[in-house]
Structure 1
Amino acid sequence: MEPCDGLSLKAVLFDRDGTLIRDVPYNGDPARVRPMPHAREVLERLRSRGIATGVVSNQSGLGRGLLTYGQVRAVNSRVEQLLGPFNVWEICPHSPEDGCCCRKPAPGLIHRACRRLGISPAEAAYVGDIGSDVEAAQAAGARGVMVPTPLTLPAEVEAAPEVAADLLSAVGLLLAAPSGRNIP
């Protein structure tokens, strides 16, 4: 593993929709899965360094009855076909109204992913495209990096402690720079 400014980065967790793949609301169709630019490249870069990768994703379509578990599994399988295998997947099936402790911005999904990987959240980073992703990382004690999309609210970008222009920049930041540096 490559050290990150004296600290060992052991895992990078990613949001699924809008971060690793194009966001298609309530997507249950694997044929509609389209990777974000450089997604496979950054994952291969991390894996080649022995850094675990994972996906942490809210899937409220399950709680709302808009998706089945089979559909979510099929989409996730397609993500792995296109981007390679992940060490861990953690999905929140609840709707926002359920008040669960796993749905981002709560830290539950990140905590579960880290436990399954056998690491502390301080040894992990989480990359996402919206404010609740960064808030979940902060609440869990992990490093959070935002990669905004056109749908990301300006206030969320402004509030994020670390922002990267794209996935390549985000992973470069995680591998080379101390926490707290913003990339325009």
Structure 2
Amino acid sequence: MNTHMKLVVLDRDGTINRASEEFVKSPEEWQPLPGSLEAISRLNHAGFHVVLATNQSGLGRGLFDMAALNAVHAHMLKTLAAAGGRIDAIFYCPHAPDEGCSCRKPAPGLLHQIQERYGIDLKGVPYVGDSLRDMEAAHAAGCAPHLVLTGRHPDVQGQALPATFPAGTQVHADLAAFVDHLLGETSSN
């Protein structure tokens, strides 16, 4: 087990870039959220590896193909690199909701893939996402669930979460606020 690797797992749509009801189907539709690319760069500079775990059911729904998804991700990585950041790997679920796969969040399959790829125990590894199903997947895989309020999340009044969220879910305004919290925590250890 690689216990020394510092890892953060991120959702994509609504966490790094703006979420779209119509799905993000092209590089032009991929719009980074304010401060998100700089936040990933700060994680990298603090020694963290960053990987994505994202549902991309638009593939299974036939709304875009692999070439389009690859183009979006190439654009994202290039834009991120210009901000001094990098993402080590992208794990995605290509299935439509009715396909009954084990990788579509809230199932923890993507996180289990990350665990296998890196040979790392995900217990306590931060998983940052914008939805209940992200938090459920994080919780099921033993990750520390962190909700950002930049996507399609339910209305969260103040910092009080609906009881449906896993216990211990932490709430942040956005990815930059999560990074402030994480780096503030790690530097004081």
TM-score by length of 2: 0.83
Structure 1 residues 49-58 or 144-153, which shifts more?
Answer: 144-153
2:48 paired with 1:40: no
Counterpart in the other structure of 1:66: 63
Alpha-carbon separation, structure 2, partners of 1:110 and 1:157? 23
Q: Distance in 2 between matches of 1:15 and 1:42?
A: 14
| Cα gap change, 1:150 to 1:44, in 2 (>3 Å) | closer
Residue equivalent to 1:10: 6
Cα contact 2:39–2:179 (8 A) shared by 1: yes
1:124-144 Cα offsets, whole Å, 9 max, x none, are: 211000100111100000111
**Alignment partners' CA distance in 2, 1:149 and 1:47:** 21
**Offset of residue 150 of structure 1:** 6.1
State whether structure 2 residue 182 is matched by structure 1 residue 165: no
Instruction: For 2:69 and 2:111, locate their aligned partners in 1 and report how far apart those are by CA, in whole Å.
Output: 19
The 5-angstrom pairing of residues 1-184 of structure 1 reads 10-24=6-20, 25-84=22-81, 85-122=86-123, 124-149=125-150, 151-154=152-155, 157-158=161-162, 159=165, 161-177=169-185
d(CA) in 1 for partners of 2:104, 2:45: 30
In the other structure, the counterpart of 1:4 is none
In 2: Cα distance, 1:134 partner to 1:174 partner: 17
Alpha-carbon distance, 1:43 to partner: 0.8
Q: Is the 8 A contact 1:8 1:123 kept in 2?
A: no
- The percent of aligned pairs where both chains have the same amino acid is 38
Which runs of 5 or more structure 2 residues have no equivalent in the other structure? none
What's the offset of the Cα at 1:42?
A: 1.1
SS at 2:171 equivalent: coil
* Count, aligned residues: 172
Using the TM superposition, give the Cα deviation of residue 173 of structure 1 relative to its aligned residue in structure 2, in angstroms: 2.2
Aligned AA (1:137): A
Residue type of the alignment partner of 2:174: D
**What displacement does 1:79 show?**
0.9
Report Cα offsets for 1:80-103 as digits up to 9, x if no partner: 111133111100001111111110
Do 1:15 and 1:129's aligned partners in 2 also have CA atoms closer than 8 Å? yes
TM-score normalised by L of structure 1: 0.85
Q: Distance in 1 between matches of 2:19 and 2:75?
A: 14
Runs of 5+ consecutive residues of structure 1 not aligned to the other structure: 1-6, 179-184
